[in-house]
Amino acid sequence: QMTLVESGGGLVQAGGSLRLTCAASGRTFGSYAMGWFRQAPGKERAFVASVNWNGGSKYYADSVKGRFTISRDNAKNTVYLQMNSLKPEDTAIYYCAADRFGSRSQSALAYDYWGQGTQVTVSS
């Protein structure tokens, strides 16, 4: 029903910026809530941000508020994560996910489709 592919990860210095892109293929992208999660080495997968179907409602983890911005372009079947003021603790594999029920949930269990992830490494 839907395929998600992340891109834009890489190596960046602390304090720098990076924009992640998630390209979706599917017939009903515009009706899904979308989320970003991350998983650091030895850690559980953690919520980062989510956005509802039209971009009008967003949630952020406390650890990224004021630094990260989630957005979407339904005409392009794409969701973005703009990451500013990056810290070494932001280092993780970042995953995008789609929730067909539009909950914008902070729980990974709510999401129906997942990308393969893109690595973000922030150096000191």
Q: What would the two tokens of residue 74 be? A: 């339904």
Q: Percent of the chain beyond pLDDT 90?
A: 81
pLDDT tens-digit series, residues 40-94: 999 999 999 999 988 889 999 999 999 999 999 999 999 999 999 999 999 999 9
Task: Give the pLDDT score at 87.
Answer: 98
Residues with Cβ within 8 Å of residue 58, at least 6 apart in sequence: 49, 50, 51, 52, 70, 104
User: How far, in Å, CA of 81 to CA of 19, rounded?
Assistant: 6
Per-residue exposure over 76-91, b if at least 16 CB sit within 10 Å of its own CB, e if not = ebbbbbebeebeeebb
Q: What is the per-residue pLDDT across 92-107, written as a single tens digit (0 to 9) for each?
A: 999 999 998 878 789 9
